[in-house]
A and B are shown apart, each in its own frame.
Chain A
Amino acid sequence: MNSRQTNKNNHTISESNGEYWADNVSKYFGEQPGLVNVNLTLNKGQIHCVCGANAAGKTTIVRVLAGLLKPDKGKITQPEKKKTGLMLEYSMLYPKLSIAENLRFYAGLYGVEKEKHYIDKLLESLGLDDLKSERIEVLSAGMQKRASFARAIINKPELVLLDEPFSGLDQQAAEKVKANIKELAGNKSAVLITTHWINQVIEFCDEFSVLDKGRLIMNEKAANVDKQAFCRDYVFYARRNG
């Protein structure tokens, strides 16, 4: 059992156990429930998908696990800061800097070892090598999304939190991002993906959860689920809940 420390926010920092969880976590925004008694486990080497309608709590769970939000109740575990990768709906990239400059900046902050051409290889894997000198402000939304994904994994994180990584991406770009996600899981990172569209992730996730108005209404391993039926039922549920 690896030793665990507790930081000042009462979050447990796991050294390298590779298992991260949200334990009975609740978060309220005034009167609105963001999360209500959510229990979630993320295992290393596995890709966990969290689905839900708008305002279900998908972004909230990502932000809570990243340490950006403190839960009102419950506990979370997370690795040290430099081993967490985060991607949100906005790119978190400086508009006046180029893709490469942004990545070099974040690589410096994370203290990533300067492998030769590491950033170049990463950008090539995402199809951004031709655009590495372009400023973020001139890029399209899809390109910014890919650049944001690169920023999220620049530090080879143990825990990767991706909030709707496929939104705004075309098929080709989405395939490149999926390939990188699978590689992360192959390197024993724990990956959490949130999405509206289950069919984007159904074939490569290891575990599924569904959030509804902050509550976890389903949590199943992919092996135990008929994926086609699940997909169908989820689409029906999504349509019914608008």
Chain B
Amino acid sequence: MKAKFFRTISILYKDLLCELRSGQGIAVMILPEILIAGLFRISGITITEPERLVSCVLLVNLLFAGILGGERTALSEHENGCINGLLVCPAKSEEIYFAKFGFNFLLLCLFGIIIVPILAILFLTESNIHLLELLFSILLINIALGSVVTILGFLVYRSGAGNSLLSVIFIPVMLPVFIPAVNLITYCLGGGDTIDTGNKAVQFLVCFDIIFLTLGWLLFDFVLEEN
């Protein structure tokens, strides 16, 4: 058990180190999202529910950051055939999966920490934010995004179908997360939704996270194995 945990952490640490040195991933994820948020603001649309708008923009940004992250996770492992190095070593597919999930999750959390204040500054005039609830909600959403994009990123890459296909399959799968998450984050930002809606959304997201983490863990072996 200790060895498994150590291997998972080793792979995660290796990914974080590579990402830190490349620097591309974070810049590629954050800058376009800030620009998109700015475009929304500049467009002059009438904002009747700023909290709902912020939650929508945030979720769209997280969705696309997840797609970019998922593509990069799969691509980085296939550079120089490194995936074969992982496949022949004692690391099992579930250890690789959880390491990759952890990497995507941490990257999305970092992204969330950076983008939320920017969106709040751009769109919110009054601040009635339930901060702890907001952080918790973003954590739940990132677990969902990370668990799905990890397996789909590898799946699409190994299929050879082209990374653009990742968004085609990722967005419909994530839509069930998107809908309650909008309500939840609207509530956390002090919007009009009730705490009851928030609680139901949390229960839904927890359920989604558990099921798709388990599904990713079970199916990753099939995605990695060659014929």
* Interface positions of A (Cβ within 8 A of B): 63, 66-70, 80-82, 84, 86, 88-97, 101, 105-106, 108-111, 135-136, 151
Contacts and interface: CB of A to CB of B under 8 A. Distances in A.
B90 A110 contact: yes
Interface stretch (B74-82, B122-130, B138-146, B170-178): B74-82
Given A69-B227, A90-B81, A96 B91 contact: no
B41 interface: no
B226 interface: yes
Contacts of A84: 88
Contact of B7 (A67, A91, A109): A109
B219 interface: no
Best-surrounded residue of B87, B88, B90 (most CB of chain A within 10 A): B88
A178 B227 CA distance: 33
B80 A90 contact: yes
Given A68-B226, A105-B10, A82 B89 contact: yes
Contacts of B87: 67-68
A92 B85 contact: yes
Contacts of A92: 80-82, 84-85
Best-surrounded residue of A94, A95, A101, A110 (most CB of chain B within 10 A): A94
Interface of B: 3, 6-7, 10-11, 14, 17-18, 21-22, 76, 79-82, 84-91, 225-227
Given A108-B10, A110-B89, A69 B226 contact: yes
Nearest to A72: B227
A91 B88 contact: no
B82 A94 contact: yes
A72 B85 CA distance: 23
Given A108-B7, A109-B7, A110-B90, A88 B18 contact: no
A96 B21 CA distance: 7
A101 B80 contact: no
21 contacts: A66-B88, A68-B84, A68-B88, A69-B227, A81-B90, A82-B90, A84-B88, A91-B81, A92-B85, A93-B85, A94-B76, A94-B82, A96-B21, A97-B18, A97-B21, A109-B10, A109-B89, A109-B90, A109-B91, A110-B90, A135-B21
A7 to B, nearest CB: 12
A108 B14 CA distance: 11
Contacts of B80: 90-95, 136
Contacts of A96: 17-18, 21-22
Contacts of B76: 94
Nearest to B225: A70
A108 to B, nearest CB: 5
A66 B218 CA distance: 23
B85 A106 contact: yes
Nearest to B78: A90
Contacts of A151: 85
B221 to A, nearest CB: 10
A109 B92 CA distance: 10
B90 A97 contact: no
A45 to B, nearest CB: 22
Q: Which 10 pairs show the lowest CB-CB distances between chains A and B?
A: A90-B81, A92-B85, A96-B18, A96-B21, A109-B89, A82-B90, A108-B10, A81-B90, A86-B88, A91-B80
A86 B87 CA distance: 11
Contacts of A109: 7, 10-11, 86, 89-91
A86 B89 CA distance: 9
B91 A101 contact: no
B79 A95 contact: yes
